[in-house]
Amino acid sequence: MKEHDASLRRRLLTRLWVPLAAVLLIGALLSFAVALHFGEVVHDRWLLDSAMTLAAQLRANTGRLSLELPPAAVEMFEWDAVDRIYEQVISPSGRVLFGSANFPAPPLDLAPNAPRYYDAMIGDYPVRVVAVGVPSPLDVSKSVTVQVAETKKKRETLVREIILLLVPLQAVILLAAGMFIWIAVTSSLKSLDDVTAKLRRYKPDGLVPLRDADTAPSEVKPLIDAINELINRVSEARGAQQRFVANAAHQLRTPLATLQVQTERALRETNPERHAEALSHVLKAVTRMRHLTQQLLALTRSDSSVAATLVMDEVDLAKLARDELERWADAAVLRDIDLGYDGPEAGAAVRGEPQLLRELLGNLIDNAIRYGRNGGEVTVGVTPAPATIYIEDDGPGIAPGDRARVLEPFYRSPGSAGEGCGLGLTIAREIAARHGARLEIAQRAPNGTRIEVIFDHA
């Protein structure tokens, strides 16, 4: 899109000027039509007055109709500085009583005292004609036809004068209106310009919301509120990212330091048994660091920023749970934990990303095995309506006050056993959120923990 097409000011001006110009043009045409109409009415009435003046001169002399005017009166009647005037009076029998030109035949449906106006040609001149029937002095049941015609020079001159007057006037009105619109739009958009200027001067280090939101126009206030909300979300996200990086660095520092110390010890030891013991500690530190790294990568994959790239497909939670149990069977055997499944073989379908759902379930099972009691029980269950997957253990449980905090990265309940890194539940919650599901932590009766992932929109 070109820059001028994206200009709000240009759009507003265009959308105001174009309709305004159309309205002014329509107004000018209507004004022209009205002025022309009344100009025609005035001239037509003058023609009718002239025709009635002639009709008033009709006389009945010795049984004959006559209309005689002295030359001075005829000259006065026909005088006009611009146009030429023609007249004709016809008796009921069709005899021309008075006339100065050969008129076209009057309308056949001419009614008494009902003037008819029409355009015609007399010689080479276009004229406007009025024809009126008046009662004959000899017999009022019969009509004398009186016609008066005038050439159209004054009428054409009137049209030109109206056009010459209206066009400049409408142009001035349009320019004045356009100027006022420009001033109004520019001054109204000044608040947007102020916001733009503030954003250009904005320093992202502070992430401070924009001020003057309450004094901004009501149309601009939602924009400022939305920008401030975005700034707050970015600030929160950056704070969470900084905390995450700091926590990750802290969590990696311990296994790295242990790895360094044990590696140096292994290099110094000449006793085979102590050398092997040091190497076992090295392996333990590498294993922990590998687990932590995998968890960090899993947390990154479950982040909302990559949610748009997820390829969703239909996943059967029952089949997924049974497959995942097989993968964790060895880990459960090492701690003498009875790992079981409770649910249907199939039929709990949801739309999701299979690998992420495996990651979710794997983290929950890993947590249950890692923090459950030796020789205890861990049950993975699935219910179809609504599609829900749950994990139960009979370990020490999670205190109600810690159930919200254990979902935060790197947080571990005080006194919890195991060598976890505090990311399993965080990852599970994030993956659940990406799938429109909710993760809930509850107490398992009589003791232990029950974690449910409920797919309300499956």
Q: What is the DSSP string of 366-425?
A: HHHHHHSPTT-EEEEEEETTTEEEEEEE-SS---GGGTTGGGSTT---TT--S---S-HH
- Residue 64: phi, psi to the nearest 5? -125, 145
pLDDT in tens, 85-110: 999 999 888 888 888 888 888 877 77
| 89, 130, 306, 432, 451 from 398: Cα distances, Å | 119, 108, 31, 20, 10
User: Is 135 in contact with 143 (CB distance < 8 Å)?
Assistant: yes
pLDDT in tens, 333-352: 988 999 999 988 887 888 88
Query: What's the topology of domain 308-455?
Result: Heat Shock Protein 90 (3.30.565)
Q: Which residues of 172-186 are buried (b: 16+ CB within 10 A; e: fewer)?
A: eebeebeeeeeeebe
Does the predicted model carry a pTM greater than 0.85?
no
CA distance 214 to 217: 8
Q: Who has greater pLDDT, 161 or 238? A: 161
- How many CA atoms lie within 13 Å of 343's alpha carbon, on the beta-carbon side? 26
Is the backbone of residue 62 left (phi > 0), alpha (psi -120 to 50) or beta? left
- When the pLDDT of each residue in the chain is averaged and rounded to a whole number, the result is 81
Q: Who has greater pLDDT, 128 or 190? A: 128
Residue 1, pLDDT above cutoff 50? no
pLDDT in tens, 120-166: 999 889 999 999 999 888 888 888 899 999 999 988 888 888 888 88
Which structure tokens are listed for 287? 């294993």
CA distance 372 to 448: 8
Per-residue pLDDT band at 292 (split at 50, 70, 90)? low
Predicted pLDDT of residue 2: 47
| DSSP assignment letter at 346 | S
Name every residue whose Cβ is closer than 8 Å to that of residue 43 and which is 6 or more positions away in sequence.
128, 150, 154, 155
Give, for 169, the enclosing helix (H) or strand (E): helix 153-188
All structural domains of the chain with their residue ranges:
8-160, 221-301, 308-455
Q: Who has greater pLDDT, 192 or 99? A: 99
Residue 5, pLDDT above cutoff 60? no
User: Is 147 in contact with 88 (CB distance < 8 Å)?
Assistant: yes
| 40, 87, 301, 376, 441 from 129: Cα distances, Å | 12, 9, 93, 118, 101
Name every residue whose Cβ is closer than 8 Å to that of residue 30 and which is 6 or more positions away in sequence.
none
User: Is 420 in contact with 371 (CB distance < 8 Å)?
Assistant: yes
| 128, 372, 392 from 376: Cα distances, Å | 116, 7, 11
For the segment(s) 221-301, the CATH number from 1.20.1740.10, 1.10.287.130, 2.160.20.80, 1.20.1260.10 is 1.10.287.130
CA distance 217 to 189: 10
Q: Who has greater pLDDT, 112 or 218? A: 112
* pLDDT mean over 316-322: 90
- What number does CATH give the domain 8-160? 3.30.450
CA distance 421 to 411: 8
Residue 425, pLDDT above cutoff 50? yes
Dihedral angle, C-alpha 171, 172, 175, 176, nearest 10 °: -150
pLDDT in tens, 37-79: 888 888 899 999 999 988 888 888 877 888 888 888 888 888 8
Distance between alpha carbon 449 and the CA centroid of its chain, in Å? Answer: 48
| 89, 131, 136, 141, 149 from 57: Cα distances, Å | 11, 16, 11, 19, 18
Residue 238, pLDDT above cutoff 80? no
Across the strands, what pairs with 438? Answer: 454
